Structure 1
Amino acid sequence: MEVNEQITHQQTPVGSVRPSKKRIAWVDIAKAIGILAVVAGHAYPHKDALYEVIYWWHMPLFYFIGGFFIKPLGHSWTATRKFLKRKIWPLYRDYLIAGSAIIFINYFTEHRSLDYSINYFGRLLYGGTVLNGYTSAFWFVTVYIIAHMAVVALITYIQPQWLQWLTVIGLFALGTGYDNAKQLFGFPLPGNADVALMAMFYMYAGYRLFPLLKRVISSRILFGASVLGAFGFAWAQYADKIDQVLYMKSHNVTNGIFAATVPILFVLVVIGIANRLAKTNFAYQLQWLGKQSMIIMFSHKAIFYILEKLSITNWGILAMFGVLIPIIGVLLYHSTRSMVKSIVETPV
């Protein structure tokens, strides 16, 4: 998820020679907007139209962006092993490290028993909807990993593009065609694997639309039309003309067609805004914030719970600290690391 390469990804299989890497500013800025929306949505206490509209697009945005730099694998075990080692394992490793750290913090802040914490770690390994409290946002990672592997397999082993689209659309229809896995099977699937059916569609759409995005979002007419369309749906939700929800983690989806189209409309608006912000004086700061989206994703819910124990309950303050505290932590980490490195490298 941290990879951001300006390359023609659809023509470069894993394991082949690749062009030099270059981060694309508007991609990181879009992630910054997305993570701010995630934190605000989790802090906001009212399930009103604003809350519902935020949930329409903030998680689909990350899956859509995740599709930008996906590439088909070479048809060899070596290519598959490199993909798992370079793309999948680092994300899952960070998931386990961050989750273990938060469970450790939870052990002390909530005065948990050892049995509870061991069980909590078991839930971390299982992933998905069984994660709540301090780690409730971690479901995103397991769904991302499953969707990423599935889409890579799809574009590697199914060659006709029309059949790829048919597959992800069919899986999306299947994934939105029932209430939730627990009701259907009697238990939640590991890693929210059923939610990955939805994430696959958003990720594949990002993969296919990426080459066209720059032209689309740079067009004032197309961007204006996207803004008007998104505003129209938001107004309709506020005015009770429609009543649509898209809560991916809990698998609460009112309408599959709406969930497949309107979130992408909002994603195009966010990317268009990000493209324009990339030309402002705030571009560097916003791009840097976007690069920290994963640490904010991992930590903000734990920060909320700790602040609430200190009687800080205002949602705006919670959202602000949910972003600021991880940022301060990252800055302190890099500052300490640089200081230690300079001391070690200083000749005696």
Structure 2
Amino acid sequence: MSEAVKQAQPNEAVPVQSPPKKKARIAWVDIAKAIGILAVVAGHAYPHKDALYEVTYWWHMPLFFFIGGFFLKPLPHTVQATKQFFKRKVWPLYRDYLVAGAVIITINFFTEHRTVAYSLDYFRRLLYGGTVLNGYTSAFWFVTVYLLAQIGVVALISYVKPQWLQWLTVIGLFALGTSYDNAQQLFGFPLPGNADVTLMAMFYMYAGYRLFPLLKRVVASPLWLGASLLGAGAFAWAQYADKIDQVVYMKSHNITDGLFAATVPILFVLVVIGLSYKLSQTNLSYQLQWLGKQSMIIMFSHKAVFYLLEKMSITNWAVLTVFGIVIPVLSVVLYRLSRRMVQSSLRLTT
């Protein structure tokens, strides 16, 4: 039977291609994000700049940049591929940044009795990004740095082929980024979006990109976790005992030592990842995974929650931390419930 006749058979079953299956999320990755966002919120609420505060700042922001490198891929050298990257990876997060910023600036307008001129200038600062953002939106610097680092690393792995040259590039950028105090002192003004901090963030993100395949193989190893804990514990003790005095404040670009900032934060990140894998084997896994998926809304809104609570004379850092997590999470739950109710009512009326 000819091919044409075969295609004309009316009763012949035509194979239907099933839609591609969604890749299952890796539990320990989301749990690591949950641990990270808990540390960020607690760090912002904690009132003492002691060893605990400084050690927490060593790793909680590098953790998010490190994880951000896990699922990056080189792009084909086509205009279409570049457009798709910006459409799917860059624009959605930047859109959320603008929307969340607009909401918080509006809340600030009413709660702080701001003038229209002040709020319009607040929008200008939101567009500029970085260190010019403070108060309700002081944590927003992370998003612009994350996006710039993502663009930089994807460009690097797409257009620079030798792996040794990729490593040399990010190490060189990190060394450059930690060789001066801050952009304000160097240029006389802060760079848009904390662009100079991207030089550091790219290193952490690229390290995550390269180490992720190895981590998937060794994450369950007690020996690996034990060694990481021992090393991180030694550095934490040294800071507490005043044997060393190191700070890694990425937003303000306050870095005591570049070599320390390139190595010790990653050591702590490895500890968090190892502990996250252990937690993924417990009954808390589902709840922690869900919390990790809400890390961005918590990042956007927790400082606004703090300011509103402080206006009610609630200043205890532990209470601020709890509400800084719970209120954003409740807002997500209520939004999703209301959305489902609207969708259900629409289905009933059609």
TM-score (norm 2): 0.94
How many residue pairs get aligned? The number is: 332
- 45, 48, 57: which one pairs with 1:46? 48
Q: Tell me, which stretches of 5 or more residues in structure 1 are unaligned? A: 1-16
Matches for 1:180-259 after TM superposition, within 5 Å: 180-259=182-261
Distance 1:223 1:214 in 2: 13
- Once structures 1 and 2 are overlaid, which stretch shifts more, 214-223 or 282-291? 214-223
The equivalent of 1:300 in structure 2 is 302
- 142, 166, 169: which one pairs with 1:167? 169
The yes-or-no answer on 1:129 pairing with 2:131 is: yes
- The letter of the residue matching 2:41 is V
Distance 1:52 1:266 in 2: 13
Offset of 1:218 from its aligned partner?
1.4
Partner SS, residue 218 of structure 1: coil
Offset of 1:19 from its aligned partner?
7.2
Partner SS, residue 116 of structure 1: helix
The equivalent of 1:7 in structure 2 is none
The equivalent of 2:5 in structure 1 is none
Structure with max Cα Rg: 2
Distance 2:235 2:221 in 1: 21
Over the aligned positions, Cα root-mean-square deviation in angstroms equals 1.1
Distance 1:19 1:234 in 2: 43
The equivalent of 1:62 in structure 2 is 64
Offset of 1:47 from its aligned partner?
0.2
The equivalent of 1:312 in structure 2 is 314
Distance 1:19 1:200 in 2: 31
Partner SS, residue 188 of structure 1: coil
Offset of 1:20 from its aligned partner?
4.0
The equivalent of 1:12 in structure 2 is none
Distance 2:124 2:240 in 1: 41
Distance 2:26 2:110 in 1: 41
CA deviations on 1:195-254 (whole Å, 9 max, x unpaired) are: 000000000000000000022321111110100110110000000000000000000000
The equivalent of 1:327 in structure 2 is 329
The equivalent of 2:84 in structure 1 is 82
Partner SS, residue 169 of structure 1: helix
Sort the Cα spacing of 1:19 and 1:174 in 2 relative to 1 into closer, same or farther, 3 A. Answer: farther
CA deviations on 1:255-274 (whole Å, 9 max, x unpaired) are: 00000000000000000000
- 101, 104, 108: which one pairs with 2:103? 101
Offset of 1:18 from its aligned partner?
8.3
- The letter of the residue matching 1:103 is I
The equivalent of 2:339 in structure 1 is 337
CA deviations on 1:102-147 (whole Å, 9 max, x unpaired) are: 0000000000000000000000000000000000000000000000
Partner SS, residue 27 of structure 1: helix
Percent identity, aligned pairs only, is: 75
Distance 2:172 2:22 in 1: 36
| Aligned partners of 1:147 and 1:203 also within 8 Å | yes
Sort the Cα spacing of 1:277 and 1:187 in 2 relative to 1 into closer, same or farther, 3 A. Answer: same
- 256, 260, 263: which one pairs with 2:262? 260
Partner SS, residue 194 of structure 1: helix
Distance 1:234 1:208 in 2: 26
Distance 1:76 1:335 in 2: 41
Distance 1:66 1:342 in 2: 36
Offset of 1:347 from its aligned partner?
4.6
Partner SS, residue 83 of structure 1: helix
